[in-house]
Amino acid sequence: MAATATLSSKFQISIPKAVREQQHWEAGQEFVFIPKGKGVLVMPVPKLEQLAGIAKGARPEGYRDRKDRS
């Protein structure tokens, strides 16, 4: 069964312990909320050091610029 939570009168939701432990989420961690149809995708905001090397091998030429879009 999926873990559930209830929205409080202060519009807060407690993330179930099983989910926090599985995802290794910690108190004070920052999250982003991305609307998806009738739901919302909740994802942790990565720390700068977690992004190191993410674009390894990317080519600086041949990318699309905003000017290329119609």
37 domain-assigned: yes
42 domain-assigned: yes
Residue 20, exposed/middle/buried by CB under 10 A (0-12, 13-18, 19+)?
middle
Residue 28's domain comprises 17-46
62 domain-assigned: no
55 domain-assigned: no
Rounded CA gap, 6 and 50, in Å?
32
- Residue 70 is predicted with a pLDDT of 63
* Residues 3-17, mean pLDDT to the nearest whole number: 94
52 domain-assigned: no
Q: How does pLDDT run across 17-38, given as a tens digit for each residue?
A: 999 999 999 999 999 999 999 9
Other CB atoms within a 10 A radius of the CB of residue 68 amount to 7
For the chain, percent of residues with pLDDT exceeding 90: 60
